Structure 1
């Protein structure tokens, strides 16, 4: 997990580093391919969260188990993905067949990197061109550092709304 500055907006992002210079990255039917090799995905228990307004914008999460209503249990399919080199992490899937589930082959240019979010159907990342608001390829100069821990997490629109704090994520190690 790496913190970097968006090449166009200048906002700080945190995403998983997927492709290095010279790599070929593609997603086919929701499966990540690195240099032509499928990366293993093993299904596990679903990710469950409360269906309610989240974040500063107050958006609602998308659920793979359909419309659940405010306060209901919103599920997302979860799998453990193992990348080349043996790094394993959880990824989320809301629905199959969405636009970013099938991409062209991306050639990572020299001096740039390819990033993806772990919540694959809800991530603006390198699969999306900068011209359309996406991250695109990120130049080395925009890398800020490695992310090791979540210090604070809130689903609310304001930090002072303590009832929206997600204490189970405080100081949690990022894998």
Structure 2
């Protein structure tokens, strides 16, 4: 082979080697990024979006949240697909009353739900005329300004339900819901909606929360399947702590439902 052909061949081999090295570096970069993203999702934060009105007025359809994974330790449902890699929870810590948690519903151990923790193991929880009764004491509740939102986002009505559709001072169609401020022992305060007086959900028998479980409620009390009723009755029953995914931490994105990418900028960044 002539020296000229040898030089051409050498340049060709070198170019192929550089291309292979570049492709290898890119593949390693993608693999590293995927592992970092998976690690963050398992051990730090997992995204979650709000699919229903059960947590109005605090959380709205179109909100996207970061769910913190570390506050209660790590269990089966901290991992993708809920793989049973070990028993129990590592670093198991109970939620605090008032925390908003995301969990796998005991109904199928697959569907993600979001609710507020009201009762801890040993607590006795009941409802009386729409008021939470915790360990024999009514949770303080006071009327506050009505909660409103654009009528296009909800205002469900039907047999036995009031029609909450009305118009604001500018003539825009809105929903107007009665709102109340609840204050749990320890001072945690939040707003709840109670749309229907004397609803079947407003008065329930006392339930004692067993070890390894929590009692949860939706803030929108008349539009929430929660611990007031068993799975067989259409609720979620008492939630095993092993089903908890994490604590709702912060809204990182929010859009008006059905309005394309119309941002609700005032909600982005709100801590929960």
The TM-score normalised by the length of structure 2 is: 0.56
Q: Secondary structure at the match of 2:266?
A: helix
If each structure's strand is expressed as a fraction of its own residues, which one has the higher value?
A: 1
> Is residue 165–residue 174 contact of structure 2 (8 Å, CA) maintained in 1?
no
Q: Give the alignment partner of residue 33 of structure 1, picking from 102, 122, 133.
A: 133
Whether 1:169 and 2:270 are equivalent positions in the alignment is no
Q: Give the alignment partner of residue 43 of structure 1, picking from 140, 143, 153.
A: 143
Whether 1:4 and 2:98 are equivalent positions in the alignment is no
Give the count of matched residue pairs. 164
Report Cα offsets for 1:19-56 as digits up to 9, x if no partner.
Answer: 1111110010011000110000111111001111x4xx
CA–CA distance in 2 between the matches of 1:169 and 1:62? Answer: 23
Tell me the residue number matched to 2:119. 19
CA–CA distance in 2 between the matches of 1:116 and 1:125? Answer: 5
Report the alpha carbon displacement of residue 151 of structure 1 after superposing the two structures with TM. 2.2
Report the alpha carbon displacement of residue 101 of structure 1 after superposing the two structures with TM. 0.5
Structure 2 stretches lacking a partner, 5+ long: 1-99
CA–CA distance in 2 between the matches of 1:5 and 1:162? Answer: 29
The TM-score normalised by the length of structure 1 is: 0.84
CA–CA distance in 1 between the matches of 2:265 and 2:221? Answer: 24
Tell me the residue number matched to 1:146. 247
CA–CA distance in 1 between the matches of 2:143 and 2:120? Answer: 26
> Is residue 128–residue 136 contact of structure 1 (8 Å, CA) maintained in 2?
yes
> Is residue 105–residue 243 contact of structure 2 (8 Å, CA) maintained in 1?
yes
Structure 1 stretches lacking a partner, 5+ long: 55-59
CA–CA distance in 2 between the matches of 1:88 and 1:115? Answer: 15
> Is residue 113–residue 140 contact of structure 1 (8 Å, CA) maintained in 2?
yes
Bigger shift: residues 105-114 or 32-41:
105-114
> Is residue 18–residue 114 contact of structure 1 (8 Å, CA) maintained in 2?
yes
Report the alpha carbon displacement of residue 79 of structure 1 after superposing the two structures with TM. 1.3
After TM superposition, the structure 1 = structure 2 runs for residues 67-146 of structure 1, keeping only pairs within 5 Å, are 67-68=165-166, 72-146=173-247
Tell which structure's C-alpha radius of gyration is larger: 2
CA–CA distance in 2 between the matches of 1:11 and 1:170? Answer: 25
